[in-house]
Structure 1
Amino acid sequence: MFKLNYPKFWYSRNIVACLLWLPSKLYFTLGVIRHYFAKPTTFPAPVICIGNASIGGTGKTQIVIWLIKLLKAKNINAIVITKAYKSSVKTALLVQKHHTAHDVGDESLLISKYTTVIAAAKIQSALVLVESLNPEVIIVDDGLQNPNFTKDFTILSVDGHRGFGNGWLIPAGPLRQYPSTAFDIANVVIILEGTDNTTLQQTMFFCSKPIFNATSIVNINLDKTKTYFAFCAIGNPDRFFNTLQANGITLAGFKTFPDHHHYSDDDCKYLQNQARNLHATLITTSKDHVKIYNKLLVENLEIELSINNQELLQDLIYEKIFKKDKAYN
């Protein structure tokens, strides 16, 4: 797996991107070979896959949590399978309260606050645990490009500001797959945080699938008289910092760490010193908070999604998954 941050050259087809164009074709070829030899696992319940076409944070986890709440409100028993990225999981593990991010991954920990989660290094290894849990619906966090399991409904998550970058595959660009291919796979597309990206608008013109726009709403009352020092280790830190500022939060400074970073004692000391020197309060994302709340005194920016035309999205999911004409009768 490529472990890359989002470099500036991914936004345009510049000389650096051009030099990496041939390696990106190798990436494409390896993907074709992977699909050719895949033997998809079929799970004993409908599978909703939430994925993206590019690397970096596109809001997948937020959509997963939104979907969990949606299904729970209708008494539908749903579980989640995560990739357990940057964890010690070798096969598949049912996430428990005593687990840490080292054990099961930060996304697994966060989502486990809302429903049962299986952290799986390979999705096929989750089958036995899924059978024992007997869920009505399985939500897979990530895996749009994974040919090793059958998908019944697929949601493509797109960051509204970054869009699809320069439109090239890794490492020449940010894409795991071309948008046209992702549109073919997806049942619906959700664009998060902004529709002012002209290039994205042009690309979305060729998408024939239903498109929904989503925004992040802060659901915690932060003290806006305070000054904060923000930090995070997520794929798209700009969204976090922009959300803080859009909600009137004063930032004395900020620090970014690599995506899925595990915070060391030295990291904690650094953050404490920064906050003390700037007379600021530490604040981070929910995904980071589950990794560090017992090491630092830090506030958690909890957010939830507001999706336009949510009733139609509910209907589309329900009709496809449960083969019914009207949602949640």
Structure 2
Amino acid sequence: MIERIWSGRSPLYLFLLPLSWLYGFVTFAIRCSYRAGLRRSWHAPRPVVVVGNLTAGGNGKTPVVIWLVEHLQQRGLKVGVVSRGYGGKADHYPLVLTSTTQTSEAGDEPMLIFQRTGASVAVAPKRVEAVQALLKQNDVDIIITDDGLQHYALGRDFEIVVIDGQRRFGNGWWLPAGPMRERASRLKTVDAVIVNGGEARTKELGMTLAPSLAVNLATGQRKLVEELASVVAMAGIGHPPRFFATLSALGMKTERNVTFADHQAYSLEQLSVLTQGDQVLLMTEKDAVKCRNFAQSNWWYLPVDAVFDRVSGEQLLAKIMGLIK
């Protein structure tokens, strides 16, 4: 239902417009308070790159963060990452991730970034505190924030917005009548706009998500996803249909597709009933980081990687490298 409302296919958004106007006023007032100097942003002693979005729901932001971290690491930089840590509940904040940190503490996206890249990662509701904790414990050259475009308390040196190329901005209204956190005019003030799928427009960088080999959660075995048979697919991400569409594009006909809420916590009892007999459970990598402690032998996940054309990718990296002094 919410997808129909936000896409403009349902007129029910009209009943939510008063709340949207209130949301828009509050967010506009907050931003203006910083621009007018009524509130002050804290600026880190290292360059800060924000990777965020203008809409709610999955846009491919975390794969972009991973791509940036890996490519900056390849250029010899020590990269730190900070996040709000949605879905995690720690005993204290800020929390700097270690090998013993649980996904239930840090949240799924920070844990995914930590496991994929080995970068220093810190989470906290207040991203300023996360950055300060990260700098206290680690010597980093640059900091990337996973989300936080609207978190103006943290100063930033470079802003990247990731857009879903298929859905873009839906009906264009603020939450909850539409998907917008800020109006599309905000794009005029950011440093780079990345479009995930669809067709990139003028001054936008095109990106796609490329699936890799499927990985068995219990054994680490890897194989082509096409080699998996009798598959039940599940996704608890911002936009589950994208995962199911990826499987379909690979020629896979799943037994059924199961959707969960974004950042949802899982249990063995909850997931074990999704398959029967020799069926395989295939999930996203973001889901997988929450299931490793009780993974079953028939559970697999499909990693995806952000892919840019060589020129666009090099240009973006060059601009970010230029922040290092």
Task: Identify the TM-score tier after normalising by the shorter chain.
Answer: 0.7 to 0.9
| Distance across 2 between alignment mates of 1:118 and 1:299 | 28
| Distance across 2 between alignment mates of 1:311 and 1:6 | 37
Q: 2:181 aligned with 1:188, yes or no? A: no
Structure-1 residue corresponding to 2:206:
213
| Distance across 1 between alignment mates of 2:9 and 2:100 | 46
Alignment deviations for residues 19-40 of structure 1 (CA, whole Å, 9 cap, x no partner): 1111101001211333315321
- SS of the residue corresponding to residue 291 of structure 1 reads coil
Deviation at 1:317, TM superposition (A): 2.2
Q: 2:318 aligned with 1:315, yes or no? A: yes
Seen in structure 2, the aligned counterparts of structure 1 residues 293 and 222 have a Cα distance that, compared at 3 Å, is farther
User: Does structure 2 retain, via aligned residues, the 8 Å contact 1:229–1:251?
Assistant: yes
Alignment deviations for residues 89-119 of structure 1 (CA, whole Å, 9 cap, x no partner): 3521101122222111001110111111001
Question: What amino acid is aligned across from residue 189 of structure 1 in structure 2?
Answer: V
Structure-2 residue corresponding to 1:269:
272
5+ residue gaps in structure 1?
A: 196-200, 324-329
User: Does structure 2 retain, via aligned residues, the 8 Å contact 1:6–1:174?
Assistant: no
Seen in structure 2, the aligned counterparts of structure 1 residues 13 and 40 have a Cα distance that, compared at 3 Å, is farther
Alignment deviations for residues 62-82 of structure 1 (CA, whole Å, 9 cap, x no partner): 000000111010110111001
Structure-1 residue corresponding to 2:66:
65
Deviation at 1:235, TM superposition (A): 0.3
| Distance across 1 between alignment mates of 2:292 and 2:127 | 29
**Alignment RMSD (CA, Å):** 1.8
Structure-1 residue corresponding to 2:160:
155
Question: What amino acid is aligned across from residue 250 of structure 2 in structure 1?
Answer: N
TM value normalised by structure 1:
0.87
| Distance across 1 between alignment mates of 2:236 and 2:164 | 17
Q: 2:93 aligned with 1:91, yes or no? A: yes
How many residues of Structure 1 are paired with residues of Structure 2 in the alignment? 302
> Pairwise mapping of residues 127-138 of structure 1 onto structure 2 (< 5 A)?
127-132=131-136, 133-138=138-143
5+ residue gaps in structure 2?
A: 214-222
TM value normalised by structure 2:
0.88
Q: 2:256 aligned with 1:253, yes or no? A: yes
> Pairwise mapping of residues 72-111 of structure 1 onto structure 2 (< 5 A)?
72-89=73-90, 90-111=92-113
Question: What amino acid is aligned across from residue 11 of structure 2 in structure 1?
Answer: I
Structure-2 residue corresponding to 1:288:
287
Which among 159, 174, 177 is matched to residue 169 of structure 1?
A: 174
Question: What amino acid is aligned across from residue 110 of structure 1 in structure 2?
Answer: L
Deviation at 1:13, TM superposition (A): 6.8
| Distance across 2 between alignment mates of 1:34 and 1:7 | 27
| Distance across 2 between alignment mates of 1:322 and 1:44 | 11
Question: What amino acid is aligned across from residue 124 of structure 1 in structure 2?
Answer: V
Which among 230, 241, 245 is matched to residue 227 of structure 1?
A: 230
User: Does structure 2 retain, via aligned residues, the 8 Å contact 1:227–1:249?
Assistant: no
